[in-house]
């Protein structure tokens, strides 16, 4: 089969094929006969319309259909012979019927062939952090806050107070903008998102207190007036309270602290795993330079935008967001995501990394109760997301096993603490959707 690559740009190709007149005439005549069998024209019985009438009425469209069919057949052979994997449906962009063969140009985007670099022996930093008593105290305090009650108060004496304030914006000359129903802002002084200056200004004040405040982020001046004060009453760490927080498993403060310590340490461990995986992705992206299909990137970018729009609606209500206005940002992120998927898949194929029964039973048996091993395997293997989740985890473990791992703190400073490594038995329940 003869063909000519007319143009190459990234993953976009234009290829020219030849369709012989002999093959064309056979296909065209076959199309006329098929049209005769179904044509229903005035003055003729169905199936008895002469060929010359069919040519006169439908010749142009039948001619085009014949050429397109032959071109598509040739193109399928081309993709098979050249191992071309299409990223989108090809399109015929030109047909030249002057001569033998008839020439047809087809434009398409293809998936790239990734030539893997040596990814074994990467230098990977493994962050480690030892949970301290202050972190445990902080965690317990927030458990108490979440389970606190509130009572009305007249004066603010510490940070465990919520304050409702009327908000009056000022003009540039310092005068207060009159508002019949000023907006109410409620702040909890212990919340770290609250401006420390607000906390300082409110401390030891009572209902009715007015004060001036400048929002430096907005560069606007306001007058605030305390409308109501609520004091948070924190529960004590009694055995009953601890039992209520641990489903009756624990009742002593020391046991409670130990469990929180373990939970916090596990979160740091998960953060370390995520940091190491991000390093692997970043390093492999940096090592490999190849084009990715624009059509695939665009689809991923649009999906990212839709997810972003849903999150914004959830937090901020109805918002007018336009993909075209934000397209550039999402296209950058989508390009990296698509590129990583090609690298990931190439490594999985090259290293013959596959999902094994052990992987499924180890990761999912405790989350899919009531099923035997065969049922669990079918659920996972029939779900592309679950299957790729397992494959991705095995891939990261495989690469890190061959990596040069250095223990650091979460600021990147070297530690003498031995590397903790990514454990094979780490649960992935949080990722299962």
Helices 384-401 + 373-381 axis angle, to 10: 90
Structure confidence at residue 430 (pLDDT): 41
In a domain, 116, yes or no: no
In a domain, 326, yes or no: yes
Structure confidence at residue 145 (pLDDT): 97
Q: Residue 32 is part of a domain; what is its CATH number?
A: 3.30.70.1050
User: In the chain, what percentage of residues exceed pLDDT 90?
Assistant: 71
Mean pLDDT of all residues in 244-265 = 97
Both 293 and 212 in one domain: the answer is: no
Looking from the CA of 10 toward its CB, the CA atoms found within 13 Å total 13
* pLDDT band at 366; cut points 50, 70, 90: low
Report the domain count for the chain.
3
Domain boundary among 205, 233, 261: 233
Instruction: Kindly report, residue by residue over 193-231, the tens digit of the pLDDT.
Output: 999 999 999 999 999 999 999 998 888 999 999 999 999
Does the pLDDT of residue 369 top 80, yes or no? no
Q: Residue 198 is part of a domain; what is its CATH number?
A: 3.10.50.30
pTM listed for this prediction: 0.78
Structure confidence at residue 121 (pLDDT): 95
Do residues 394 and 353 make contact, with C-beta atoms less than 8 angstroms apart?
yes
Both 300 and 371 in one domain: the answer is: yes
Both 343 and 288 in one domain: the answer is: yes
Does the pLDDT of residue 379 top 90, yes or no? no
Instruction: Kindly report, residue by residue over 107-140, the tens digit of the pLDDT.
Output: 999 999 999 999 999 999 999 999 999 999 999 9
Both 280 and 387 in one domain: the answer is: yes
In a domain, 199, yes or no: yes
Mean pLDDT of all residues in 82-93 = 93
Mean pLDDT of all residues in 155-168 = 96
Both 258 and 221 in one domain: the answer is: no
Both 262 and 225 in one domain: the answer is: no
Do residues 359 and 377 make contact, with C-beta atoms less than 8 angstroms apart?
no
Instruction: Kindly report, residue by residue over 309-325, the tens digit of the pLDDT.
Output: 998 888 777 778 889 98
* pLDDT band at 2; cut points 50, 70, 90: confident
Cα gap 242→327, rounded to integer Å: 50
Both 399 and 327 in one domain: the answer is: yes
Both 341 and 427 in one domain: the answer is: yes
Domain boundary among 77, 109, 141: 109
Both 290 and 394 in one domain: the answer is: yes
In a domain, 128, yes or no: no
In a domain, 13, yes or no: yes
Mean pLDDT of all residues in 253-282 = 97
Do residues 145 and 190 make contact, with C-beta atoms less than 8 angstroms apart?
yes
In a domain, 139, yes or no: no
Structure confidence at residue 429 (pLDDT): 38
Mean pLDDT of all residues in 27-39 = 83
Domain coverage including residue 396: 251-431
Both 260 and 194 in one domain: the answer is: no
Structure confidence at residue 427 (pLDDT): 45
Both 77 and 167 in one domain: the answer is: no
Burial code (b: 16+ CB inside 10 Å, e: under 16) for 108-126 equals bbbbbebeeeebeebebbb
Mean pLDDT of all residues in 362-373 = 70
Instruction: Kindly report, residue by residue over 10-20, the tens digit of the pLDDT.
Output: 999 999 999 99
* pLDDT band at 433; cut points 50, 70, 90: very low
Does the pLDDT of residue 280 top 90, yes or no? yes
* pLDDT band at 178; cut points 50, 70, 90: confident
* Higher-pLDDT residue of 48, 196: 196
Backbone CA torsion sign across 185, 190, 196, 202: positive
Structure confidence at residue 431 (pLDDT): 40
In a domain, 138, yes or no: no
Q: Residue 311 is part of a domain; what is its CATH number?
A: 1.10.3120
Instruction: Kindly report, residue by residue over 396-430, the tens digit of the pLDDT.
Output: 999 999 999 999 999 999 997 554 444 444 444 34
Structure confidence at residue 284 (pLDDT): 98
Mean pLDDT of all residues in 281-286 = 97
In a domain, 38, yes or no: yes
Does the pLDDT of residue 1 top 90, yes or no? no
Both 156 and 183 in one domain: the answer is: yes
Structure confidence at residue 365 (pLDDT): 67
Structure confidence at residue 73 (pLDDT): 92
Instruction: Tell me, rounded to whole angstroms, the distance of Cα 170 from its chain centroid.
Output: 42
Instruction: Tell me, rounded to whole angstroms, the distance of Cα 114 from its chain centroid.
Output: 22
- Give the contacts of 270 (CB within 8 A, at least 6 positions apart): 426
């Amino acid at each position: 089969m003869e063909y000519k690559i007319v143009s190459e740009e990234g993953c976009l190709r234009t290829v020219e094929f030849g369709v012989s007149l002999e093959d064309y005439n056979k296909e065209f005549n076959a199309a006329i006969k098929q049209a005769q069998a179904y044509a229903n024209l005035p003055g003729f019985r169905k199936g008895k319309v002469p060929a010359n009438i069919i040519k006169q009425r439908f010749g142009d469209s039948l001619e085009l259909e014949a050429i397109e069919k032959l071109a598509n057949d040739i193109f399928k052979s081309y993709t098979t012979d050249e191992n071309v994997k299409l990223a989108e449906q090809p399109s015929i962009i030109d047909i030249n019927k002057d001569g033998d063969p008839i020439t047809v140009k087809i434009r398409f985007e293809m998936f790239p062939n990734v030539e893997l670099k040596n990814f074994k022996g990467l230098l990977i930093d493994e962050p480690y952090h030892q949970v301290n008593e202050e972190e445990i105290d902080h965690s317990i305090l927030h458990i108490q806050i979440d389970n606190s009650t509130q009572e009305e108060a007249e004066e603010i004496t510490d940070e465990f107070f919520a304050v409702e304030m009327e908000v009056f914006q000022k003009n540039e000359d310092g005068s207060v903008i009159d508002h019949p129903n000023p907006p109410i802002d409620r702040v909890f002084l212990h919340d770290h998102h609250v401006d420390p200056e607000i906390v300082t200004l409110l401390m030891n004040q009572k209902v009715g207190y007015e004060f001036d405040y400048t929002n430096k982020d907005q560069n606007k001046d306001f007058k605030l007036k305390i409308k109501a004060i609520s004091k948070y009453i924190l529960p004590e760490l009694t055995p009953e309270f601890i039992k209520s927080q641990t489903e009756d498993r624990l009742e002593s403060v020391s046991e409670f602290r130990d469990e929180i310590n373990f939970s916090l340490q596990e979160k740091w461990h998960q953060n370390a795993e995520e940091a190491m995986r991000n390093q692997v992705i970043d390093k492999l992206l940096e090592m490999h330079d190849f084009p990715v299909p624009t059509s695939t990137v665009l689809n991923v970018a649009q999906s990212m935008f839709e997810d972003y729009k849903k999150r914004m609606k959830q937090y901020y209500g109805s918002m007018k967001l336009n993909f075209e206005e934000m397209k550039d940002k999402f296209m950058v992120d989508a390009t990296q995501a698509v590129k990583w998927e090609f690298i990931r898949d190439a490594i999985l194929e090259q290293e013959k990394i596959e999902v094994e029964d052990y992987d499924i039973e180890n990761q999912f048996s405790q989350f899919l109760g009531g099923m035997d091993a065969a049922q669990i395997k079918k659920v996972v293997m029939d779900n592309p997301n679950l299957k790729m989740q397992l494959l991705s985890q095995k891939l990261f473990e495989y690469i890190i096993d061959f990596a040069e791992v250095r223990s650091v703190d979460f600021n990147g400073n070297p530690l003498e603490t031995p590397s903790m490594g990514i454990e094979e038995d780490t649960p992935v329940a949080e990722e299962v959707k």
